[in-house]
Structure 1
Amino acid sequence: MATTPLHFPMASSLPSASTSLSQSLRRRSTKGSFRNLRTTLCAINAQNKSKIPIPPFNPKDPFLSQLASAASNSPETFLHKPVKSDTPPYLDLFDSPKLMATPAQVERSVSYEQRPRRPPPDLPSLLLNGRIVYIGMPLVPAVTELIVAELMYLQWLDPKEPVYIYLNSTGTTRDDGETVGMETEGFAIYDAMMQLKNEIHTVAVGAAIGQACLLLAAGTKGKRFMMPHAKAMIQQPRIPSSGLMPASDVLIRAKEVITNRDTLVKLLSKHTGNSEETIANKMRRPFYMDCTKAKDFGVIDRILWRGQEKIMHDVASPEEWDKLAGIKAVDGI
């Protein structure tokens, strides 16, 4: 049965004798909350010349039952409604008005899950679900923000499972050498990698140039890989475009670039095992490395070549080569 909402006058529209009226209403209270509510409304109508329409009641409506009970027990609550209230009108009469929720709201609240049952249908999220972080662009601020957030999220999910970082990046420059980001973008990702509790497996799948080469070498020792046709390259940082900048500001930027170069030399020396002098000499000009040179230089530990384990297993040992060639080793020589 459909019912209309109850409307009650504000305290400002009632006479000053509302206190005595509420006391008389309490004395008139008899059995039945709805009868008392009707009595309250009729008394208000009698006290005021303006008539207040009394809507039909649905006895099976639990909200109206509580409303009628509250009106019969304390009618002054309706007569002296506070002007300033933090809750909607008359909802503060109940401790927990759960009956006001609609079935749709209840259904949504019950079916809500903290984690989705399957990953969202976009490729970066699918890779992230497999604990893979793919860096396929130059290190601009937007890329750095995403990579650092993904690393932190993967550690939060499981601090024991390894994280796989696939690199195909030209660092803070483009292919033509134009600077697109500060060197601090690469240092930010590097610092985030060093703070992780997880093992970090790094894989170069195309190019790892400049700061990207540092990230490749910064993986866990023994877990740094490179594809057979990938390239790695280290070079000196470059000054961003100065434009119409004053000469003094250009000098300040040049000093900052030299500081970043020294930091890059120290970090590469730490992760490759070479001396800082060796790294500095190699970085005077762009130093390209294929997978074999990168392994010899200490940037990676292994070359990912499918089937290489089987091929190397089939290769005969040096002793077998000597035996097949008819060479006999003499003891003591």
Structure 2
Amino acid sequence: MPALSTTSELADRLLGERIVLLARELDDDAAAEVCGRLLLLAAEDARRDVTLQVVSPGGSPVAAMAVHDTMRSLRTDVVTVATGSLAGPVPFLVASGTAGKRFALPHAAFLPAMDDTAGQARGARPGDVRVRADHLARRRDEIETLTARYCGRPLPDDARTRWWSADEAVALGLVDRIHGTDTRNG
């Protein structure tokens, strides 16, 4: 198999396997790319699962809601797989995958705290900043409400103040189980 020389080649190969990779901070551009890839795969075959592999340090609640709404509008199941350290609204995306098909790799870590500065407009006028802040606050509230629905209960108070292991994420209800645990090699 030839080596993949660009991120685009990697993404194209994964797309052929029905895997969408979110491997950077979730901003509007990343959300548009993920949404487009999810829509493409669902249009190709609505009967086959699509996998969203997530290794993202966090990002914008507005961008997260765009990805969430796209995932939930598809007729196909969306398998979510958490990899690495996920913060902010990104654990919410993993939790919003199809019930029973939400996974964490063994060393995934979760911090479902929202960054108050995520997505703020730089160089905006004070009135614009207030409007944007109000919008972000509403999105954060929606994400908390939806996360509680997908987890089957609200997250505990300390969920936003410390990192949670993959095992703890299962207990919280963010994921259904840990994927890829190989007990033969410890």
TM-score (norm 1): 0.49
Residue 219 of structure 1 pairs with residue 97 of structure 2: yes
Contact 1:163–1:199 at 8 Å: present in 2 too?
yes
Deviations 1:1-42 (A, max 9, x none): xxxxxxxxxxxxxxxxxxxxxxxxxxxxxxxxxxxxxxxxxx
Long gaps (5+) in structure 1: 1-120, 173-181, 312-333
Look up the match of 2:163. Answer: 288
Residue 272 of structure 1 pairs with residue 147 of structure 2: no
CA distance in 1, matches of 2:89, 2:63: 9
Contact 1:168–1:204 at 8 Å: present in 2 too?
yes
Look up the match of 2:182. Answer: 307
- Structure with higher strand content: 2
Look up the match of 2:5. Answer: none
The one of 253, 256, 269 aligned to 2:132:
253
Q: State the structure with bigger RCO (CA 8 A, min sep 6), 1 or 2.
A: 2
- Matched position secondary structure for 1:232: strand
Q: Structure 1 pair 146/253, CA: closer, same or farther in 2 (3 Å)?
A: closer
Deviations 1:117-173 (A, max 9, x none): xxxx9211110000011110111222112111111110111100011111000221x
Long gaps (5+) in structure 2: 1-7
- Matched position secondary structure for 1:169: coil
Contact 1:237–1:261 at 8 Å: present in 2 too?
no
CA distance in 2, matches of 1:219, 1:123: 23
Contact 1:144–1:185 at 8 Å: present in 2 too?
yes
Look up the match of 1:171. Answer: 58
Look up the match of 1:53. Answer: none
- Matched position secondary structure for 1:164: strand
**What's the offset of the Cα at 1:243?**
4.8
Look up the match of 1:83. Answer: none
CA distance in 2, matches of 1:244, 1:159: 42
Residue 199 of structure 1 pairs with residue 77 of structure 2: yes
- Which AA in structure 2 matches 1:235? A
Q: Percent identity of the aligned residues? A: 28
Look up the match of 1:143. Answer: 30
**What's the offset of the Cα at 1:200?**
1.2
CA distance in 1, matches of 2:128, 2:40: 39
- Which AA in structure 1 matches 2:136? V
- Matched position secondary structure for 2:163: strand
Look up the match of 1:297. Answer: 172
Contact 1:167–1:207 at 8 Å: present in 2 too?
no
**What's the offset of the Cα at 1:286?**
3.3
